[in-house]
């Protein structure tokens, strides 16, 4: 049993999105990518300026500790974020973020926060991994009103069946 969207959003932020292989339009990808022979255990590491998070079910993603952007989204050993692109991020990136990670039971929460959003506002962006689920749950809290978007770079040669318009 996973975390409900309502429970996550009510506890974390005002807006949210889930990026993963369940119910997002890339379900067919799971059938085309061979399962990993041995999925990495659930957990996270801090190394080389990145938090690397594994769901324990085949999904691994990396968050840059300096910028709070996602630099890798990997399922069963297949990289979905193309090399040579910018990291995936909130808006044009989070200015001067504080990036932290913690594990609480079967949840890993990576937080990128700033008090310099558009000069003086607060923004907190959350990435949440749930043990055994191939989904990255995300939510963003913005202290002052406005619209926020997530920009995800994906490898079109692998994700060729997705409608982009």
CA distance linking residue 118 with residue 121, whole number of Å: 6
The distance in angstroms from the start CA to the end CA of the chain is 33
- pLDDT for 157 beyond 50: yes
Distance of CA 12 to the CA centre of its chain: 14
Which phi and psi (to 5°) does residue 87 adopt? -70, 155
Q: What is the pLDDT of residue 49?
A: 98
Q: What is the pLDDT of residue 34?
A: 57
**Could you say which DSSP state residue 131 is in?**
T
pTM above threshold 0.85: no
Q: What is the pLDDT of residues 49-97, one digit of tens each?
A: 999 999 999 999 999 999 999 999 999 999 999 888 889 999 989 999 9
pLDDT average, residue stretch 41-45: 97
Q: Which helix (H) or strand (E) holds 129?
A: strand 121-130
């Amino acid at each position: 049993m996973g975390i409900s969207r309502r429970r996550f959003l009510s506890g974390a932020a005002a807006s949210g999105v889930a990026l993963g292989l369940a119910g997002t339009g890339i379900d067919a990808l799971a059938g085309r990518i061979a399962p990993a022979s041995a999925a990495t255990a659930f957990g996270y590491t801090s190394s080389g300026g990145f938090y690397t998070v594994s769901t324990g079910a085949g999904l691994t993603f990396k968050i840059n500790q300096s910028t709070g952007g996602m630099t890798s989204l990997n399922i069963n050993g297949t990289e979905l974020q193309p090399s040579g692109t910018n990291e995936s991020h909130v808006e044009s990136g989070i200015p001067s973020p504080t990036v932290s990670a913690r594990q609480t039971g079967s949840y890993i929460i990576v937080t990128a926060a700033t008090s310099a959003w558009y000069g003086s506002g607060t923004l907190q962006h959350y990435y949440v991994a749930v043990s055994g689920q191939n989904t990255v749950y995300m939510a963003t809290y913005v202290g002052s009103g406005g619209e926020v978007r997530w920009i995800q770079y994906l490898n079109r040669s692998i994700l060729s069946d997705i409608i982009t318009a």
